[in-house]
Amino acid sequence: MKDKNTVIERLKKANFKLTPQRMAIIETLIGNKTHPSADAIYDKIKKKFPMISYSTIYNTLRILIDLGELRELSIKENKINYDPNTEPHHHFLCEKCNRIIDIFQEINFKSEHINTHKIRNYEIYFYGICSDCLKRIK
Amino acid sequence: MKDKNTVIERLKKANFKLTPQRMAIIETLIGNKTHPSADAIYDKIKKKFPMISYSTIYNTLRILIDLGELRELSIKENKINYDPNTEPHHHFLCEKCNRIIDIFQEINFKSEHINTHKIRNYEIYFYGICSDCLKRIK
DNA sequence: TTATTAATTAAAAATTATTCTTAATTAAAA
DNA sequence: TTTTAATTAAGAATAATTTTTAATTAATAA
């Protein structure tokens, strides 16, 4: 999800309607680096659309994922977090402040196979204490 | 979780009781390379203990995790899979047969920090088609 | 511009996985 | 043995997500 117009064009091309609710969800996601969960998105959208329902949130998120414009993270147990940045990168979960932080540092791994299994995708989840929390503890 | 006696010793040392239900759960897990979910374990234990309840399963799994004898995987969405092999290794989820396969191949990553964030642990999840399914497709 | 229609919505019920509560049971210590 | 503190089974509670359905609405065609 780079910019609103590109996402809108892709939705149109795939014959999805551009409802105000969807537009609001897209606007909340574009450039969002907080990796929100569905309920964080719901809470934000509810300010503009007090009648919004979770089905609308989940339906829109599903569409964006299927279009490849949104990425699901399983870095927290039993909870999905969403990342509108679909460029290859990894994630760090701070166990103190609970933030999910993008890791753009390249990990030396490029091959298309591992042990003869064909890789379509891979995720690296780091767990620890982020630099801000480390400072705070000192 | 290497062998039963070591796990039993560790449970004793930590003042946990060695109930038959717990022993059965441990026996199911030792050497188990299938990465079972709680309900797969429940189904198996139920054959021996038809009255077993999920709370016993989850309680025992929690103890083993806290003792460092069991590892939780978040490779599948909204589901926890358990791995009794606590040696460092990674996992591959086959999107065809849905199996979770151990990856012992070393990934070049050793540092204690990433971008000044302190790493306590990290997980690598690969997604794709396993070699068995690749053969079957050909 | 209006009518049509097919997609989308909100609401609520259902589902799934896990956790919590409670009273009864049992393993281990005294 | 008796005691007691941990553990159990059962089921209720919780949390996240999905499904169902009838009403609404966006986009297309008349």
Domain ranges of chain A: 4-83, 90-137
CATH number for region A4-83 = 1.10.10.10
User: What pLDDT does residue A35 have?
Assistant: 98
> What residues contact residue A46 under an 8 Å CB cut-off, 6+ apart?
A52
Residues A9-24, mean pLDDT to the nearest whole number: 93
The better pLDDT of the pair A62, B108 is held by A62
What is the chain A residue with the closest CA to B72?
A77
B87-109 confidence digits (pLDDT tens): 999 999 999 999 999 999 888 67
What's residue B119's pLDDT? 96
The torsion defined by the Cα of B131, B132, B136 and B137, in degrees rounded to 10, comes to -30
Cα–Cα distance, B57 to B62 (Å, whole number): 9
Which bases of chain C are contacted by protein, using any atom under 7 A from a CB? 7-13, 16-22, 26-28
Contacts of B107 in chain A (CB under 8 A): 107-109
What does the pLDDT read at residue A53?
96
CATH topology of domain B90-137: Dna Ligase; domain 1 (3.30.1490)
Q: Name the band, by pLDDT with cuts 50, 70 and 90, for residue B40.
A: very high
* B75–A78 C-beta distance less than 8 A: no
CB atoms within 10 A of CB B26: 20
Q: How far is the CA of B28 from the C1' of D5 (A)?
A: 27
pLDDT of residue B29: 97
Q: Phi and psi dihedrals of A48, rounded to 5?
A: -90, -35
pLDDT of residue B88: 93
Which residues in chain A are closer than 8 Å to B118, comparing Cβ atoms?
Answer: 128-131, 134
Q: One fold for both B4-83 and B90-137?
A: no
Q: Is 80 exceeded by the pLDDT of residue B67?
A: yes
